[in-house]
Amino acid sequence: MIRKTTKLRQLLDSQQLEFLMEAHNGLSARIVEETGFKGIWASGLSISAALGVRDNNEASWTQVLEVLEFMSDATSIPILLDGDTGYGNFNNVRRLVKKLEQRGIAGVCIEDKVFPKTNSFINGTAQPLADIDEFCGKIKAAKDAQLDEDFVVIARIEAFIAGWGLSEALKRAEAYHQAGANGILIHSSLRVPDEILAFKQEWGNRCPVVIVPTKYYTTPTQVFRDYQFSIAIWANQVCRAAITAMQQATKRIFTEENLLNIEEDIVPVSEVFRLQGALELQAAEKRYLPQNQKQSSALLLAASRGIELGEFTLDKPKCMLELKGKPLLSQVADTYRMVGIKEITVVRGYKKEVINLPNLNYIDNDDYDSTGELISLQLGLQKFSQGNQDLIIGYGDVLFKKYVLQLLLDNNHDFVVVVDANSQGQSNSVRPDYVSCSLPNSKQAFYTEVYLQQINNQLSKSESCGMWTGILKVSSQGQKILRDTLKSLLLEETAQKQGRMPSLINEIIKLGYPIQVIYITGNWLDIDEIEDMIKAGSF
């Protein structure tokens, strides 16, 4: 395995322009590596900002070191530390190098200003530069302290920042080069690259030259290649982008006082887990811990044509109508997958050969014309053994925001339904499944368990507590009750062969089994009519 120090030395000595991307903690470092960058710039400005302090050595070098350790552990690419002025004199630099090597940091860049430093872009011309001989002593001390021969020491020249001009920059560069620096970082606060280009033209190729185009960012990168710079550092953009995103998100949540809209625009928590390496821990748990983890599956009923949509469903069932460039069923399944449900079974019937999406299991109801949802459910349940898994039963033409499914998964009751409290006895749905509950949606209901009393499309507005959204979760324990109740219902009442899910749910209630209610307000859509198709385009 190539050491990180060797990787950084190879980047520095490369015959082509290389790039380092800023990171300031373990998470951002891992993202930088995943993006494809070959190396990381551990920015002093960004690390200070992430810690909530100024870029004036207010964060101690040991605090910076702790951040670096997490960054190094999270990545396999080399890290070059923005080591400010070395955090003191030559002795501090020697100890710094020793500690950096112990944590797998590939190199350090130190700047020729006095301690404590001030950021170069804050009144730079008023900042004093270090004595050349004293700074050369720091470079020699750093090189003498390193144990790894490939550990990189970069000397950062602030002559242009302080307004001293080209001759001073060249004078310092030569002194630092002779002192043993592996490369020179030439810095400028101008919005054009004139100073750094003039320096490179005079300096030539005596040793590698590193640049930081933060201010002169409009310069085409090809210019840097033409002048044969060694490394360009994108020095603080990850931190600044994070600040932009955090400001926008917090303002939106503050204004809206809920998370419903923003949850759809930010990465799911599962992506955070992935970046943290949760999969590796799960694999380790399977190896080292007893296994008794509950899984969840989904059964989607999608055998009907959707005749209400007329000619749109002549050659395909409703669940395969395209929305946003993909079939409706695909969007429904994607939402289930976003909450971690991978095993999804679809009961198909009308034009079943058209329903052929990948990564789904299929059960066919070939008698879809003469039977209803309960027969489809009975067929679908054959796919599931009565094991250690919860089951969500839904429809292939009903869209939900993912948080609704997450609410179901987080509920531990044997039977759970989701009720839209906004639909109280007044709906355009083809079959409005109005419900009565033990409590209407209220502050009291939020703190009290609410149970379903019945589903009845004849309920008046005063009797209705909302509308059943077409989704039912059944625990592993509750599935035997569900199967037995369904079997009895179909045997005792022939008419139920064309029956719908509400009749089964009502029967379970009659038998004395409680069905808990989760209230929502909107954030779901049952595709019944053309108008629903239009709404789905912006869902």
pLDDT on residue 10: 98
Confidence band for 290, pLDDT divided at 50, 70 and 90: low
pLDDT for the residue 493:
66
First to last CA, the chain: 50
pLDDT of residue 333: 93
Report yes or no: 166 and 149 within 8 Å, Cβ to Cβ: no
pLDDT tens-digit readout, 478-522 = 999 999 999 998 887 666 777 899 999 999 999 999 999 999 988
Amino acid at 137: G
pLDDT of residue 425: 47
CA distances, 184 to each of 97, 154, 239, 422, 501 (Å): 18, 6, 25, 66, 73
pLDDT tens digit sequence for 129-156: 999 999 999 999 999 999 999 999 999 9
Q: Quick one: which H or E segment has residue 520?
A: strand 516-520
Report DSSP letters for 5-52, one per residue. Answer: HHHHHHHHT-SS-EEEEEE-SHHHHHHHHHHT-S-EEE-HHHHHHHHT
CATH superfamily of 4-244: Phosphoenolpyruvate-binding domains (3.20.20.60)
* Distance in angstroms (rounded) separating the CA atoms of residues 173 and 156: 9
The domain segmentation of the chain, as residue ranges, is: 4-244, 257-287, 290-538
Structure confidence at residue 431 (pLDDT)? 66
Provide the token pair at 190: 């101008």
- In the set 55, 112, 528, 532, the catalytic residue is 55
Residue 343 pLDDT greater than 50, yes or no: yes
Greater confidence (22 vs 538) lies with 22
| Residues sharing a CB contact under 8 Å with residue 316, sequence separation 6 or more, in sequence order | 351, 354
Q: How confident is the model at residue 242 (pLDDT cuts 50, 70, 90)?
A: very high
- Catalytic annotation on 55? yes
- Say whether pLDDT at 278 is over 90: no
Average pLDDT score over residue span 210-226: 97
Binned at pLDDT 50, 70 and 90, residue 163 comes out as very high
pLDDT at 211: 98
Confidence tier at 424 by pLDDT (50, 70, 90): low
Cβ atoms of residues 454 and 436 within 8 Å: yes
Q: Identify the pLDDT of residue 522.
A: 86
Residue 268 has pLDDT above 70, yes or no: yes
Task: Tell me what percent of the residues of the chain surpass a pLDDT of 90.
Answer: 70
pLDDT bucket at 426, cuts 50 / 70 / 90: very low
Mean per-residue pLDDT over the chain, rounded: 91
pLDDT of residue 314: 87
pLDDT (0 to 100) of residue 203:
97
Q: What is the pLDDT of residue 133?
A: 97
What is the arithmetic mean of pLDDT over 172-186? 98
Confidence of residue 260 (pLDDT cuts 50, 70, 90): confident
> CATH topology for 290-538?
Spore Coat Polysaccharide Biosynthesis Protein SpsA; Chain A (3.90.550)
Alpha helices in 103-160 (DSSP H): 132-145
**More confident: 163 or 386:** 163
Does residue 429 register a pLDDT over 90? no
pLDDT, residue 432, reads: 82
Q: What is the pLDDT of residues 315-327, one digit of tens each?
A: 899 889 888 788 9
pLDDT score of 37: 98
